[in-house]
Structure 1
């Protein structure tokens, strides 16, 4: 009887240890999927737009652009949606601040 209890206890311990290894693997998998979005880059490059600076905040276009708008034949790039919204309040003022590239 004593041998049966010891054997059953040993089996329960082994089963419990086997269950913990799956939890560790699951953590490794979830870490890999959450770190993937960090590798994303900006949507637009400075070569795709006609401005050299964000017209709202003055940040250089080469630093990265997240949004664009077409205005009076120009493609204007913005570092964020907030800067784009600010530009739309007074586009003419923003156009002069955009430091536009010369069209060839």
Structure 2
């Protein structure tokens, strides 16, 4: 008669484990849904901020200047020799 009790115990344990897994799955899905919502809100805030910043002439001018400087650096990267790099650290000569 102990066999049915063992079988019941195993079945109950499996059911309990499945309940825990189901609970964990629901918790996981809930957490993912909250993260998706939070990231969606963050993305919208960044889009709004970018739109406001690009509307500002100052920010747009800085963006253009930054892009120009970046392009110059990329174009001239690796062209400077050690001697040229040393010269850039010195003040330029003044011609009278």
TM-score, normalised via structure 1 length: 0.44
Greater share of residues in helix? 2
Greater share of residues in strand? 1
TM-score, normalised via structure 2 length: 0.47
Choose 1 or 2 for highest CA Rg: 2
Higher-RCO chain (CA-CA 8 Å, sequence separation at least 6): 1
